[in-house]
Amino acid sequence: MSEVKKSTVAVIDYGMGNLHSVAKALEHVADDNTTVVVTSDPKVIDAADRVLLPGVGAIRDCIGEMYNAGLVPSIRKAMAEKPFLAICVGIQSLMSHSEENSGVDCLNHFKGNALFFGEEHQDRDGSKLKVPHMGWNQVKQAIQHPLWADIPDNARFYFVHSFYVVPENKSEVAGTCDYGLEFCVALARDNVFAVQFHPEKSHKDGLQLYKNFIHWDGKP
């Protein structure tokens, strides 16, 4: 009998709050051979088979804490070589720049910016739209991807954000959403996937995305 391969998912903890729900959701869908670790140790991240970069709060603090904790080299290394998933502010941190907090330079893995919806955000008919964009919205899958497996097109996911990403390279857009304008909510390139919504708060379709990530070999 051949030995079953054990695998580890590292959830990066850089001091920006609630990782409980991310870890619990991953554990909920993980099989017996998968271990979920919440870690701020670069060595643990380097040794993991898969890496998840969460994010809540303000972008300046997120990026600042990633650098302060000495995690940026490990994040870049993981993005270069293994299945990597970024969520919420995590997707924004992978862009070149965000206009939040008077402008913050980010990790520049995806060329493009994170922009503010604006406090006077409107629907196309001129009616007022609330900001943050908070609640369940439909995600249109722009490409076929292993992380969309068994998730219906236009499934609803839970969002809470006031900034949205605008990638320069449209071929990297993996999913879009509509809220006064059509905007990118999922990015994919090689072994990196990033989403604006919260899979851990998006019930069965969110859990399915995490399950897909746990089984993903990093190939598009």
Partner 1 sequence: MGLAKRIIPCLDVDNGRVVKGVQFLDIRDAGDPVEVAKRYDEQGADEITFLDITASSDDRETTVHMVEAIASQVFIPLTVGGGIRTCEDIRRMLNAGADKVGINTAAVFNPEFVREAAQRFGSQCIVVAIDAKKVSAEGETDKWEIFTHGGRKPTGLDAVEWAKKMVEYGAGEILLTSMDRDGTKNGFDLGVTRAISEAVHVPVIASGGVGNLEHLVDGVTKGKADAVLAASIFHFGEYSIQEAKQCMVDAGIEMRL
Which active-site residues does the annotation give?
88, 198, 200
Give the tokens for residue 184. 């990118």
Give min distance, CB of 80 to partner 1, in A: 29
- Binding flag, residue 6, partner 1 (CB under 8 A): no
- Binding flag, residue 122, partner 1 (CB under 8 A): no
Q: Which of residues 49-108 bind partner 1 (CB under 8 A)?
A: 56-58
Give yes or no for a contact between 217 and 83, defined as CB atoms under 8 angstroms apart.
yes
Identify the residue whose tokens are 């870049």.
76
- Binding flag, residue 125, partner 1 (CB under 8 A): no
Identify the residue whose tokens are 């006077």.
120
Q: From 190, 186, 177, select the one nearest 219 (Cα to Cα).
A: 190
Give min distance, CB of 22 to partner 1, in A: 10
CA distance 11 to 13: 6
In the list 18, 68, 101, 169, the residue contacting partner 1 (rule: CB under 8 A) is 18
- Binding flag, residue 181, partner 1 (CB under 8 A): no
Residue 128 carries which DSSP code? B
Identify the residue whose tokens are 């995590």.
90
Q: Give contact residues for partner 1 (rule: CB under 8 A).
A: 17-18, 20-21, 24-25, 28, 56-58, 119-121, 123, 128-138, 154, 156, 158-162, 178-179, 198, 200-204, 206-207
